[in-house]
Amino acid sequence: MKVPIAPILQGMGVTLSNFVKKPVTVAYPEQKQPVADRFRGRIYLKLETCIGCTLCAQACPNGSCYMVDYDPGFETPQNKRQKFPAVEISKCMYCSLCEEACPTDSIRMGKEYETGAYVRDFDYKPDRLSQNEAALGRGPYK
């Protein structure tokens, strides 16, 4: 029987070359890879600058972003009616159209991507949108 030496050596060569290469995987969630500069993660809202113009909600193609009445606990002369956006983040498709429509850069796509949780509370009202996941005590931060 003829032993296929060349293909075996070729395969061993691939194995050996990968054996000495630096691993591309990391031990997530203890280690994390940095995200790209233009990565679109979870949305954040800056309550201090939002003028309640509703453009973000109008730009949202699937109704994830909508306006609510909310009292942030401080004066908002730029937003007298105290209307702020809320986002149902389980429906959000991270398209960034709300961010692009905002004239004051108040609603922004962040870098955070760990929004999984053990409870189904993905309706982020303005108070939650203005904090990150660690501050909310959700997901892997529990």
Asked if 104 is part of the footprint of ligand SF4 (rule: CB under 6 A), the reply reads: yes
d(CA 123, CA 65): 10
Please, which residue, 65 or 128, has the CB nearer to ligand SF4? 65
Please, which residue, 104 or 117, has the CB nearer to ligand SF4? 104
Asked if 117 is part of the footprint of ligand SF4 (rule: CB under 6 A), the reply reads: no
Asked if 50 is part of the footprint of ligand SF4 (rule: CB under 6 A), the reply reads: yes
* Long-range contacts formed by 125-130: CB under 8 A, 24+ apart: 125/68, 125/70, 125/86, 126/45, 126/47, 126/50, 126/68, 126/70, 126/72, 126/84, 126/85, 126/86, 127/70, 127/72, 129/43, 129/44, 129/45, 129/85, 129/86, 129/87, 130/44, 130/45, 130/46, 130/47
Shortest approach of ligand SF4 to residue 82 CB, angstroms?
11
Asked if 102 is part of the footprint of ligand SF4 (rule: CB under 6 A), the reply reads: yes
Asked if 53 is part of the footprint of ligand SF4 (rule: CB under 6 A), the reply reads: yes
Piece of the chain touching ligand SF4 by CB under 6 A; list 3-11, 22-30, 48-56, 128-136: 48-56
Q: What is the largest CA-CA distance in the chain?
A: 88
Asked if 129 is part of the footprint of ligand SF4 (rule: CB under 6 A), the reply reads: no
What count of Cα atoms within 13 Å lies in the side-chain half-sphere of residue 126? Answer: 21
Asked if 65 is part of the footprint of ligand SF4 (rule: CB under 6 A), the reply reads: yes
Asked if 94 is part of the footprint of ligand SF4 (rule: CB under 6 A), the reply reads: yes
Binding site for ligand SF4 (CB under 6 A): 50-56, 59-60, 62, 64-65, 85, 87, 92-98, 101-102, 104, 106-107
